[in-house]
Amino acid sequence: MERTAGRLADGRQIIWYDADGTHRTAVADRRDLPTTVTGSQLRRDPLTGEWIAVASHRQSRTYLPPADECPLCPSDDHLSEIPSPEYQVVAFENRFPSYELNAEAPDATDGLDTASSASLPRPLDPHLEQIRAGRGRCEVVCFTSDHNASFAQLTPQQARLVVDTWADRTTDLNAIDSVQHVFPFENRGKEIGVTLQHPHGQIYAYPFIPPRAATELAHAQAYQQEHGRSLFGDIIASESAAGTRVIAENAEWIAFVPFAARWPIEVHFYPTRQVPDIPALDDAARDGFVEVYLDVLQRFDRLYDEPTPYIAAWQQAPAREHRDVAWLHLELYSIRRGEGKVKFLAGSESGQGAFVNDGLPEGMAQRLREA
């Protein structure tokens, strides 16, 4: 893999990734872009302890442009975010980031009513109103220059280049002092909320360990202390032995519908050997992932007449914590619950975080095996 770094017109970093060793020269961005101004901040929810990002500048981000104005296609007559006439895989800093490395520490009165001149603004209560700069990084990863493709339609060679790109970006982002957790993911489909149809994913480099990762790691740590074994490893062994929920596997990876699946369609992918993150995968494991992942994605799209919307969420070790207990895996799930029907995260899921699955995981596993 060869990488070529450059800068966009407003100073954001862009990196081209090429699998064939072709030497590339960074192409100048000819757009007249204003300097990106962000105001990302974090506010702590005192009821849950979770950090909530506030990034009001994202309200103006691009929304479902026509194909001939796609900002992720190569630049020709239409100048895009990628200033070159072709590319294989590209990663660049998001123009509308939720987190930003240069975010300034918020003023203690940010967001409070300061219109009254009768008194000074009320200071924040440190027990209830904790606020700090959202110093992280958000990147976009374009999987292919083909606007009408999807990840499932990539060749194994193209998909492997995406895996290598994820690994490279994880290594770079983990090295940033303010970053605690790197999360590559893909949102696919308008039903999920995708605002750009071009096949792409994102990477969030959080300045904290996000709730889902923290919960999984806490349970894994407790299980290790109680049983002296890896929770993840035992899950893999149990699913492999039962076989009823396994969708696909090879010598390097196993993909299965989890025993307590939350989503109408949900598949987890695990390497058969424990590694903390994507950079730790060797060549055989990266090739093995591509084989199993493309297989399952293609099954997703054969379930219904329309392509299945999904979220693909990598769960990897934080940058500096829990790396001994973590076991890299990917969680793939869809809100599609039937032909033309989606599951909304309504009262129970949104109000209490208590999921209700309308179907048996074993039944969905059987449908995916038959697809």
Q: Does the annotation list 73 as a binding residue?
A: yes
Query: What whole-number distance in Å separates Cα of residue 255 and Cα of residue 139?
Result: 27
Q: Does the annotation list 23 as a binding residue?
A: no
Q: Does the annotation list 329 as a binding residue?
A: no
Rounded to 5 degrees, φ, ψ at 210 are: -70, 160
Q: Give the pair of three-digit tokens for residue 300.
A: 């997703």
Q: Does the annotation list 138 as a binding residue?
A: no
Q: Are strands 341-342 and 253-256 parallel, antiparallel or unpaired?
A: unpaired
Residue of 57, 181, 200, 329 with catalytic role:
200
Query: What whole-number distance in Å separates Cα of residue 140 and Cα of residue 70?
Result: 14
**147 exposed, middle or buried (CB, 10 Å; 0-12, 13-18, 19+)?**
middle
Closest CA to 15 of 5, 28, 23: 5
Whether 200 is catalytic is yes
Q: Give the pair of three-digit tokens for residue 243.
A: 């076989």
Catalytically annotated residues: 200
Q: Return binding residues for Zn(2+).
A: 70, 73, 147, 198
